[in-house]
A = this chain, B = another copy of it.
């Protein structure tokens, strides 16, 4: 069966520590330079170059040249979801030595991070829960959400770029994405990305360099309370 080989090839591509470190950084959804990825993985530029070209060849990454730099990003949100599902598995692996799951040791990452291009972790869940509890978001089908009329008004007041989000016709508008640390769905898709953008633009959250971890600012914490009625 051909699918077996394909399975092992994809898995093997993710199964090297250096490549996994790069993929983990790229889970922030942004594009990073080859040298940036090399430093993150703790290897030389030429070794990283080999890894990167292999991952492009394997359709895990997409590359874009810009001047002297070469930027790499995840090829698709499917790749991000596959990585998340593996991380969910890794998180439940209770080692006999310490029964503490791996993600528990990184509380900041668990608190708030980017998942591809939208917010995840406790903050991502808090935002999503608020939207559904206020009736702004309703489940639609197995893996999507519907933004209700009041929900549209709410987003507009918040400054979310709804027209821009709808314009990205090639991707899902409001998608459910399983959160690997909270093990519940949060909002992703074009709307999820637009909401995350709003958080960054209004100074409610800051990306930490070289990490998926996101820091919630003081004003962000206040905004969660006043706009979303949530405390984290």
Interface residues in chain A, defined as those with a beta carbon under 8 Å from any beta carbon in chain B: 1-17, 19-21, 23-24, 58-60, 76, 78-79, 81-83, 85-94, 102-103, 105-106, 109, 139, 141-143, 176, 178, 184-185, 211
Contacts and interface: CB of A to CB of B under 8 A. Distances in A.
Nearest to A87: B7
A94 B75 CA distance: 13
Given A142-B176, A143-B178, A89 B10 contact: yes
Contact of A19 (B8, B9, B60): B8
The secondary-structure label for the interface of chain A is helix
B3 A102 contact: yes
Contacts of A143: 142, 176, 178, 185
B11 A15 contact: yes
B10 A93 contact: yes
Contacts of A94: 59
Nearest to A6: B90
Residue of A3, A5, A184, A185 with highest tally of chain B CB at under 10 A: A3
B92 A59 contact: yes
